[in-house]
Amino acid sequence: EPEVTQTPSHQVTQMGQEVILRCVPISNHLYFYWYRQILGQKVEFLVSFYNNEISEKSEIFDDQFSVERPDGSNFTLKIRSTKLEDSAMYFCASSDGSGYSQYFGPGTRLLVL
């Protein structure tokens, strides 16, 4: 069964450093998303992406964040200058838009020291 994959599974970085989280969505999907889950809290929407542009973004998704689909298979989330409060599990998801479901990857656990 097709699945969303994410790399790395874990990343530790120093505050102020840039990180790039990578995702490979399901191949025939057209809509892509990033969510995050701070430890002990609920999953929160960050951004959705369609047709090579951002469809919607939350208040969390400020200028420190950016997304890109650099080629036909990868979808990335970049955090330019990480803060302690960026420590969270980051989930990528994809949808074909007609299946009424988003399929989530296993997540990348980011720890900012």
Q: For binding to other proteins (CB under 8 A), which residues are involved?
A: 30-31, 33, 35, 41-45, 48, 50, 55-56, 58, 91, 93, 95-107
Q: Which one-letter amino acid corresponds to residue 92?
A: C
Tokens of 10: 């874990």
Distance of closest approach, residue 64 Cβ to other proteins, in angstroms = 20
The set of residues, in sequence order, having a beta carbon less than 8 Å from that of 74 and lying 6+ positions away, is 22, 23, 24
**Closer to other proteins by Cβ: residue 82 or 95:** 95
Q: Residue 16 CB, nearest distance to other proteins (Å)?
A: 28
Under a CB-based contact definition with an 8 Å cutoff, are residues 19 and 108 in contact? Answer: no
Q: Which residues pair with 75 in a beta bridge?
A: 23
The nearest distance, CB 27 to other proteins, in angstroms, is 17
Q: CB-wise, 16 or 97, nearer to other proteins?
A: 97
